[in-house]
């Protein structure tokens, strides 16, 4: 079975995010004064094959910890769904 893992990596709340701050300031200068905070992050879509959803989950978590995330500054979360059948061709 193929699973699609949607992974979101963001900077930890305690870490300053200069990109997010810049975007927030841009919002404010455009008149969106109600924007309190902007945090930027990374989105990754990983397709993996696994015997079960649990197995995929385990793999995804391991990949996040080992490669995709630097735990010093970043946190992550992900969603897993089974991939829809590919169209034949």
Contact criterion met (CB below 8 Å) for 75 and 69: yes
Residue 14 in the binding site for another protein (CB under 8 A): yes
The encoded tokens of residue 37 equal: 């905070």
Residue 63 Cβ vs another protein, minimum distance, rounded to whole Å: 12
Please give the residues from 62 up to 81 whose contact with another protein meets the rule CB under 8 A: 67-68, 70, 72-73
Q: What are phi and psi of 28, to 5 degrees?
A: -60, -40
Q: How far apart are CA 11 and CA 41, in angstroms?
A: 7
Q: How far apart are CA 69 and CA 10, in angstroms?
A: 9
Residue closer to another protein by CB (options 33, 72) is 72
Residue closer to another protein by CB (options 34, 89) is 89
Where along the sequence are the contacts to another protein (CB under 8 A)?
11, 14-16, 18-19, 22, 67-68, 70, 72-73, 89
């Amino acid at each position: 079975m193929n699973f699609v893992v949607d992974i979101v990596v963001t900077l930890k709340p305690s870490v300053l995010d200069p990109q997010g701050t810049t975007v927030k300031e841009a919002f404010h200068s455009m008149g969106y004064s109600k924007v309190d905070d902007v945090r930027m992050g990374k989105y990754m879509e990983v397709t993996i094959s696994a015997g079960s959803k649990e197995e995929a989950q385990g793999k995804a978590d391991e990949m996040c910890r080992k490669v995709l995330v630097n735990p010093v500054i970043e946190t992550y979360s992900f969603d897993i769904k089974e991939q829809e059948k590919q169209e034949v061709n």
